[in-house]
Amino acid sequence: MNSGSAVKPRRITVLGSTGSIGTSTVDLLKREKDEFDVRALVGGRNVKLLAEQAKDLRAELAVIHDESLYAELKAALAGTGIKAAAGRQAVIDAAALEADWTMAAITGAAGLEPALAAARNGHAIALANKEALVCAGDVMLRAVREAGATLLPVDSEHNAIAQALGGCSMESVEKIVLTASGGPFRKSSLEEMRAATPQKALKHPTWSMGAKITIDSASMANKGLEVIEAARLFGLTEDQIDVLIHPQSAVHGLVQFKDGSLVAQMGSADMRIPIAHTLAWPQRMNTPCQRLDLSALSTLEFEAPDENRFIPLRLARQVLRAGGAAPAVFSAANEIAVDAFLNGRIGFLGIGETIDSVLQVMPENPELKTLDDVLEWDAKGRMWAEEHILKQGDRLRNISENSVHA
Ligand SMILES: NC(=O)C1=CN([C@@H]2O[C@H](COP(=O)(O)OP(=O)(O)OC[C@H]3O[C@@H](n4cnc5c(N)ncnc54)[C@H](OP(=O)(O)O)[C@@H]3O)[C@@H](O)[C@H]2O)C=CC1
Ligand SMILES: CC(=O)[C@@H](O)[C@H](O)COP(=O)(O)O
Ligand SMILES: [Mn+2]
């Protein structure tokens, strides 16, 4: 690491170490083992990988969310001196351990309480879990402020914006641009999208990521979540955040300054680059990531997204403007819909239809001031989404039964 003369190793925790962001983070840590003291690694169900990582990095503690896997984890770590723990509270306790840098990379609202616990210990929190910021923006930012923590954006676009800002105040910013790959259905018709299978939707053109975010990229709910994430992180209004489809995924984000300068951050599509940026911050560290060869990149394309095909992006802008509980409900409904799509319960366009229907049944839109408020509205969003999906299932069954009897 090129971070000068580190006196003692930095204490590190990785929440979601067995996932896509988690394994990229572990890869960087493994290359500089002496620089880091790994306090805790947290996984969901993948005990085998978690135990391997813990041994490799000589972690103090390994935590698995699924309690039924505790015995397996303990057995895998027997004789190593590494502590094992399991369950939801153990995950939150691990996140709350004093660490100089914590990666928050648990997917979805499940990552919210651990991310909050990490923020509250007042050090650096590298935030990949965008859903936490979307559903609990005020609560998260207040926790960061009150604890004096440093929030470092990992999401490639937001990390790019942070880099492009280069320490300038937000007063000098006119607007920002988040780029989007356009996903596997960038050029598909609505009919093709309606018929899309999970297998097709899981084929991201440029990034290799976990299943949930890959489906979000295909529906552009990911870009919608990112617009909200950017508003929270940088204190911008919805109309200051543009989205442009850029199929090469070489430019990750741009800042338009009020003097007319447009500053972009570029790099290959490898999350180890933004992760390394947060890990070494405010310095830089070496990574083995492929360098962009600009001469090989003959064109850089940019085009406006079609919000009539990518409905979740339009809805995300709507909930950002509405504020209150709407973003939390949007994100919760999306999580349920993505799961239902992956399990064959709804079609691909059913994701946007489910979110839309849930937003329409919301009877009120209160401000979410506490964690309990967020959890309550997250649960409501999930319940309304389930209800919508069940109703749609019943409707389709009735139609097919009627056509059989006709
Ligand atoms: N992947 C990427 O390139 C990017 C991801 N992000 C964001 O980062 C987050 C992580 O994404 P990604 O790494 O792709 O997701 P993955 O699905 O690959 O990984 C999720 C991680 O969280 C763990 N996990 C799941 N549920 C729980 C739980 N309840 N408690 C503790 N751990 C849990 C999983 O464990 P296990 O696998 O053991 O079950 C896994 O380690 C998401 O919010 C995503 O939007 C943002 C930008 C880019
Ligand atoms: C790598 C990353 O940051 C993802 O969020 C990425 O943006 C997903 O690709 P899309 O641009 O297709 O959503
Ligand atoms: Mn992103």
Taking only the tens place, the pLDDT of each residue in 309-343 is 999 999 999 999 999 999 999 999 999 999 999 99
Query: Residue 64 has what pLDDT?
Result: 99
Average pLDDT over residues 363-374: 98
The response to whether 298 counts as a known ligand-binding position is no
Query: Sheet harboring 262-266: ordered strands across?
Result: 241-245, 173-180, 251-257, 262-266
Instruction: Record the tokens describing residue 395, joined without a space.
Output: 């409707």
Taking only the tens place, the pLDDT of each residue in 216-244 is 999 999 999 999 999 999 999 999 999 99
Distance from Cα 133 to the centre of ligand 2, integer Å: 16
The answer to whether the beta carbons of residues 164 and 138 sit under 8 Å apart is: no
Distance from Cα 213 to the centre of ligand 1, integer Å: 9
CA distance 342 to 389: 13
Superfamily of domain 10-154: NAD(P)-binding Rossmann-like Domain (3.40.50.720)
* Ligand nearest, relative to CA of residue 206: 2
CA distance 153 to 248: 22
Taking only the tens place, the pLDDT of each residue in 166-211 is 999 999 999 999 999 999 999 999 999 999 999 999 999 999 999 9
CA distance 60 to 10: 13
Distance from Cα 176 to the centre of ligand 3, integer Å: 14
Q: 287 CB less than 6 Å from ligand 2?
A: no
Q: Mark the residues whose beta carbon lies below 5 A from ion ligand 3.
A: 155-157
Instruction: Check pLDDT > 50 for residue 51.
Output: yes
Q: Which residues pair with 242 in a beta bridge?
A: 177
Q: Which residues contact 405 (CB under 8 A, 6 or more apart)?
A: none
Instruction: Record the tokens describing residue 267, joined without a space.
Output: 């790099």
Q: 130 CB less than 6 Å from ligand 1?
A: yes
The answer to whether the beta carbons of residues 334 and 305 sit under 8 Å apart is: no
Q: 223 CB less than 6 Å from ligand 2?
A: yes
Average pLDDT over residues 267-291: 98
Q: Which CATH class is domain 323-405?
A: mainly alpha
Which helix (H) or strand (E) segment is 215 a member of?
Answer: helix 211-219
The bridge status of strand 251-257 relative to strand 262-266 is: antiparallel
Taking only the tens place, the pLDDT of each residue in 128-153 is 999 999 999 999 999 999 999 999 99
Q: Which residues contact 402 (CB under 8 A, 6 or more apart)?
A: none
Instruction: Check pLDDT > 70 for residue 261.
Output: yes
The residue whose CB lies within 8 Å of the most ligand 2 atoms, and thus the one to mutate among 20, 24, 134, 157, is 157
The residue whose CB lies within 8 Å of the most ligand 2 atoms, and thus the one to mutate among 186, 217, 268, is 217
Distance from Cα 132 to the centre of ligand 2, integer Å: 17
Instruction: Check pLDDT > 70 for residue 248.
Output: yes
pTM listed for this prediction? 0.96
Lowest mean pLDDT among 12-21, 58-67, 391-400: 391-400
- Where are the domains positioned within the chain? 10-154, 156-266+276-310, 323-405
Look at the chain and count its residues: 406
The answer to whether the beta carbons of residues 108 and 335 sit under 8 Å apart is: yes
Query: Residue 404 has what pLDDT?
Result: 61
